[in-house]
Amino acid sequence: MTSPIHCGRFAPSPTGPLHAGSLLAAFASWLSVRHQGGRWLLRVEDVDPPRTVPGAAQSQLALLRHMGLHPDGPVLWQSQREDAYQHALDALVASGQAFACHCSRSELAASGGIHHRCVARHSRPDPAIRLRVAPASVVSFGDTLRGPQQQDVHAEVGDFVLRRADGCWAYQMAVVVDDAAQGITEVVRGADLLDSTARQILLQRALGLPTPTYGHLPLLLGADGRKLSKSEAAQPVDEGDPMAVLRQLWQLLGQPAAALAGAATHADLLQRAAAAFDRSRVPLHDISSRQAHSSP
């Protein structure tokens, strides 16, 4: 029996240019999988047309190329994955694990905001489809960076949306189907998605799909030490010298500058970084973009 090839990914939503926090996640996912000799793939999460900015995906991919972060296979575009999501949804509906929900936002808000049973007074032509989450659906997993995590999805989230009333696929549905389709065995991403992980694991179980490992990176704070504001988060990364940018990200990830000090070329720097990456050094608290200049 052969074990699956170790495979990581970076999956940006094309809602604007890549900001420093996203590039940090891209580099960390690349480092983690490359350190283990695995493959790294890219996926454009353009599943939400109202939020997709024309040209943003192309500029994100161009920046990753400029940084020397090249995928080991074709880029997967979620906008072309309709059939796969529909197939998965049909299976869940057929087995009674998913159901059409006519509840409006205000009806749900009036009943506590968490969906445990339908409270709709009228049926609508465009119901959302939700996953049924049974009582005491407690999901535990070991975060590769943060250690043991646990969430009671029934109590804290309730039945969650797989396809929205506007017909768009929910992020949770698309990400689970595509992580499996791309053979992803390791996810490394920002801590803002830690809260989604238990839902994704439940959905994998409902669909009979494997669960990758998950590691959640610290969030990058603005120079003032506060969470990146919307406008700061929208700032594109300075596309200048990729080696300088990578050295800075390296230090934000808690890695010693000395490991890359002797790198003469961009390729050499990436190779040294992949070899020396130590995930136990990645900080768990949010990090300020200022710290890059003061790290040893």
Residues at the site binding ligand GLU, with contacts judged by CB under 6 A: 11-13, 45, 175, 189, 193
**Cβ partners under 8 Å of residue 196, min gap 6:** 171, 172, 175
Compute the half-sphere exposure of residue 143: CA atoms within 13 Å on the CB side of its CA.
24
CA separation for the pair 89, 173 (Å, rounded): 8
* Shortest Å distance, C-beta 98 to ligand GLU: 21
Does the annotation flag 230 for ligand binding?
A: yes
**Cβ partners under 8 Å of residue 102, min gap 6:** 118, 120, 122, 123, 124, 127
Is the Cβ of residue 13 or residue 255 nearer to ligand GLU in the bound state? Answer: 13
* Shortest Å distance, C-beta 44 to ligand GLU: 9
* Shortest Å distance, C-beta 116 to ligand GLU: 26
**Cβ partners under 8 Å of residue 45, min gap 6:** 11, 12, 13, 14, 78, 171, 174, 175
Catalytic (active site) residue 230: yes
Is the Cβ of residue 103 or residue 188 nearer to ligand GLU in the bound state? Answer: 188
Is the Cβ of residue 29 or residue 255 nearer to ligand GLU in the bound state? Answer: 29
Does the annotation flag 82 for ligand binding?
A: no
Q: For strand 39-44 and strand 76-77, is the pairing parallel, antiparallel, or unpaired?
A: parallel
Q: What is the DSSP string of 242-294?
A: HHHHHHHHHHHTT--GGGGTT--SHHHHHHHHHHH--GGGS-SS-EETTHHHH
Does the annotation flag 91 for ligand binding?
A: no
Residue written as token pair 């390296």: 250
Is the Cβ of residue 12 or residue 242 nearer to ligand GLU in the bound state? Answer: 12
Does the annotation flag 218 for ligand binding?
A: no
* Shortest Å distance, C-beta 191 to ligand GLU: 11
Q: Is 40 helix (H, G, I), strand (E, B) or coil?
A: strand
Is the Cβ of residue 13 or residue 185 nearer to ligand GLU in the bound state? Answer: 13
Does the annotation flag 13 for ligand binding?
A: yes
Does the annotation flag 99 for ligand binding?
A: no
Does the annotation flag 65 for ligand binding?
A: no
- In 120-145, which positions are buried (b, 16+ CB within 10 angstroms) versus exposed (e)? eeeeeeebbbbbbbeeebebebebbb
Instruction: Point out the catalytic residue in the list 121, 122, 230, 293.
Output: 230
Is the Cβ of residue 212 or residue 260 nearer to ligand GLU in the bound state? Answer: 212
CA separation for the pair 56, 249 (Å, rounded): 22
* Shortest Å distance, C-beta 245 to ligand GLU: 19
- In 211-228, which positions are buried (b, 16+ CB within 10 angstroms) versus exposed (e)? bbbbbbbbbbbbeeeeeb
* Shortest Å distance, C-beta 4 to ligand GLU: 19
Q: Which residues are annotated as a binding site?
A: 9-13, 45, 171, 189, 230
Catalytically annotated residues: 230
Which residues are annotated as part of the binding site for ATP?
A: 230
